[in-house]
Amino acid sequence: MRTAGIVLLIIGIAGLLVFGIQTIQDTETFSFLGIDIGVSQANWTPVIVSAIIFVIGIVLMSLNKRAPAN
């Protein structure tokens, strides 16, 4: 269980980094009345899925700590 948690945690972190950077690069800004406004045209689904995988990895790792030793 702990190994699966570590693998999911690493995949989640990698996904967040890759898709997060891609999402930031897809954001455009423009100035309106002296205020910079950002408009995102990016697809947020991969970032959300990566975050969910990251959280599942943390949960699986924490479940292993709470399980009694046999």
pLDDT score for 16 = 94
**Alpha-carbon span 8 to 4, nearest angstrom:** 6
What is the SS3 assignment for 56?
helix
What is the SS3 assignment for 11?
helix
Q: Which amino acid is at 68?
A: P
Q: pTM for the full model? A: 0.74
Asked if pLDDT for residue 67 goes beyond 70, the answer is no
- Could you report the per-residue pLDDT of 6-18, keeping only the tens digit for each? 999 999 999 999 9
C-beta of residue 57 within 8 angstroms of C-beta of residue 8: yes
Average confidence score pLDDT of the chain: 86
**Alpha-carbon span 18 to 41, nearest angstrom:** 17
